[in-house]
């Protein structure tokens, strides 16, 4: 998808919410007095790790699959994914009764690959580079005629992801800030749409690994960074910011008179935040999810006394390889 093509808007966001209503969980909003005290602010945790397939990714995948016309659906869907998007698309395809092909890179988390396979998808292995993933995905698409459902650079995916923030804003009431993780930018862009529609006074804050900070650099210089090689424990945040995602975030920043705020976070702080969430809320989330809390804890003066939403994006952690274990 190119930024020259139509981008999703509030109408697409609301259509996605209606389309997802029969399928997606309305996940709870969690609180922790102990974590509030440590952060110095009031935190509202949107528990998308309790979403179907274990992550917010189900929203975008399901919205896209259910929006396909009958002819396109009959040919199935294809994507490339290190885990959560692949599992989400496989489940959505299963619910509609259509074929699903997922290109998976070497080194992907075993528990996530098992989840993809359990929903009936056909797995296609490739090297770990983004170029190899995209090349293999195009080969499968050409061979099968399946519709490509990109993990983040897709209008229907972005609109679906934005429904998580829409729900949080409805339940939590006015928020000063809404902090979400950013990798490829599907959730970030969808959240920007939700804020613009439902809570324009809320400040969008993106949490990004310091070793994969292409979004921070891209928004600072006004052009996408293409040459960064991600180095982070957050396997779900290793994708580079997509073109439509960059366009939506740039427009959101322009509308507010200042660039979207991006906080770079060290992996050690992210892992510590994941452990803190497990201890104080009894919820097991991925580092790619816990990074949002780590960003808040790392900037106490920035968030002091504010009402802050945090989107816990996923919980597909390998129980045999907890991130804080040696």
Confidence check: pLDDT of 76 > 90: yes
Contact 317, 236 (CB under 8 A): no
What distances in angstroms separate CA 64 from CA 20, 68, 91, one per listed residue? Answer: 10, 7, 12
Confidence check: pLDDT of 111 > 60: yes
Which tops the pLDDT comparison, 98 or 3? 98
Maximum alpha-carbon separation in the chain: 55
- Give 83's pLDDT tier (boundaries 50, 70, 90): confident
Reference 237, options 155, 134, 135, 314; nearest CA is 314
For the segment 299-304, the average pLDDT, to the nearest whole number, is 98
Q: What percent of the chain shows pLDDT beyond 90?
A: 85
What distances in angstroms separate CA 190 from CA 96, 156, 169, 186, 238, one per listed residue? Answer: 24, 10, 13, 6, 18
Q: What is the pLDDT of residues 2-51, one digit of tens each?
A: 445 679 999 999 999 999 999 999 999 999 999 999 999 999 999 999 99
Cβ-in-10-Å burial (0-12, 13-18, 19+) of 107 comes to: exposed
Q: Token pair of 256, please?
A: 């507010």
pLDDT at 3: 44
Q: 103 pairs with which residues across the strands?
A: 80, 124
Confidence check: pLDDT of 323 > 90: no
Q: What is the pLDDT of residues 214-265, one digit of tens each?
A: 999 999 999 999 889 899 999 889 889 999 999 999 999 999 999 999 999 9
- Give 81's pLDDT tier (boundaries 50, 70, 90): confident
Q: Which residue has the tokens 């910011």?
A: 241
Reference 148, options 239, 68, 78; nearest CA is 78
Q: What is the pLDDT of residues 149-164, one digit of tens each?
A: 999 999 999 999 999 9
Q: Which domains does the chain have, with CATH numbers?
A: 10-56+155-312 (3.40.50.1100), 58-148 (3.40.50.1100)
Which tops the pLDDT comparison, 134 or 65? 65
Confidence check: pLDDT of 1 > 60: no
Full-model pTM = 0.95
Q: Beta 122-126 vs 147-148: how paired, if at all?
A: unpaired
pLDDT at 4: 58
For the segment 161-170, the average pLDDT, to the nearest whole number, is 98
- State the Cα–Cα distance between residues 14 and 27, nearest whole angstrom: 17
């Amino acid at each position: 998808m190119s930024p020259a093509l139509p981008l999703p808007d509030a109408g697409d966001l609301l259509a996605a919410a209606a389309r997802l209503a029969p399928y997606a969980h309305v996940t709870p909003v969690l609180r922790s007095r102990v974590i509030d005290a440590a952060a110095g602010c009031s935190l509202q945790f949107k528990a998308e790790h309790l979403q179907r397939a274990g992550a917010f990714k189900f929203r975008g995948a399901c919205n896209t699959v259910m929006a396909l016309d009958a002819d396109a659906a009959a040919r199935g869907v294809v994507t490339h994914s290190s885990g959560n998007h692949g599992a989400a698309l496989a489940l959505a395809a299963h619910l509609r009764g259509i074929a699903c092909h997922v290109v998976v890179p070497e080194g992907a988390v075993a528990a996530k690959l098992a989840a993809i396979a359990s929903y009936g998808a056909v797995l296609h292995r490739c090297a770990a580079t983004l170029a190899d993933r995209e090349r293999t995905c195009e080969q499968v698409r050409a061979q099968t005629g399946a519709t490509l459902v990109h993990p983040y650079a897709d209008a229907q995916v972005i609109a679906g992801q934005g429904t998580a923030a829409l729900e949080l804003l409805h339940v939590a009431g006015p928020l000063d800030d809404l902090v979400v993780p950013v990798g490829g930018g599907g959730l970030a862009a969808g959240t920007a749409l939700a804020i613009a529609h439902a809570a324009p006074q809320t400040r969008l804050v993106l949490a990004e690994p310091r070793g994969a900070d292409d979004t921070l650099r891209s928004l600072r210089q006004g052009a996408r960074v293409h040459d960064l090689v991600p180095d982070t424990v957050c396997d779900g945040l290793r994708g580079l910011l997509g073109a439509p995602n960059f366009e939506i975030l740039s427009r959101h920043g322009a509308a507010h008179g200042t660039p979207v705020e991006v906080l770079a976070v060290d992996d050690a702080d992210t892992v510590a935040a994941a452990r803190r969430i497990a201890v104080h809320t009894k919820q097991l989330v991925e580092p790619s999810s816990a990074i949002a809390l780590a960003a808040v804890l790392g900037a106490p003066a920035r968030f002091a006394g504010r009402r802050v939403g945090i989107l816990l994006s996923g919980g597909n952690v390998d129980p045999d390889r907890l991130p804080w274990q040696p």
